[in-house]
Amino acid sequence: DAGITQSPRYKITETGRQVTLMCHQTWSHSYMFWYRQDLGHGLRLIYYSAAADITDKGEVPDGYVVSRSKTENFPLTLESATRSQTSVYFCASSPGRNSGNTIYFGEGSWLTVV
């Protein structure tokens, strides 16, 4: 049972470059999420998706783009990376209300923008 896998786990990129963080889940969960975690800010929701082709902005969406053409994949793209986007990014999924909205997290992607 692979669960949720994120790639790359670690990435260093330059300011202005486009970066895509991949997320793949094997549970066929309807809901998927992207969070960023920063010291002093806790977990902040970037984007979320209720199903394939349905995405919505979270708390901090600026500078990010998502897509969900297939239920199992939910890539996050930084269109033009900035230093303020240096963070740890977590992808998560949930089967929804039948589970009490239990969320399951990936291992994280550490991104450094220089």
Partner 1 sequence: AQSVTQLDSQVPVFEEAPVELRCNYSSSVSVYLFWYVQYPNQGLQLLLKYLSGSTLVKGINGFEAEFNKSQTSFHLRKPSVHISDTAEYFCAVSREGGSYIPTFGRGTSLIVHP
How many chain residues interact with partner 1 (CB under 8 A)?
22
Shortest approach of partner 1 to residue 105 CB, angstroms? Answer: 4
What tokens does 102 get?
């239990």
Query: Which residue lies nearer to partner 1 by CB, 80 or 112?
Result: 112
Helices (H), 8-75: none
6 vs 109: CA distance, rounded Å: 7
For the window 19-58, what string marks contact with partner 1 as x by the rule CB under 8 A?
------------x-x--------xx-x--x-x-------x
Looking at the DSSP bridge assignments, the partners of residue 64 are 78
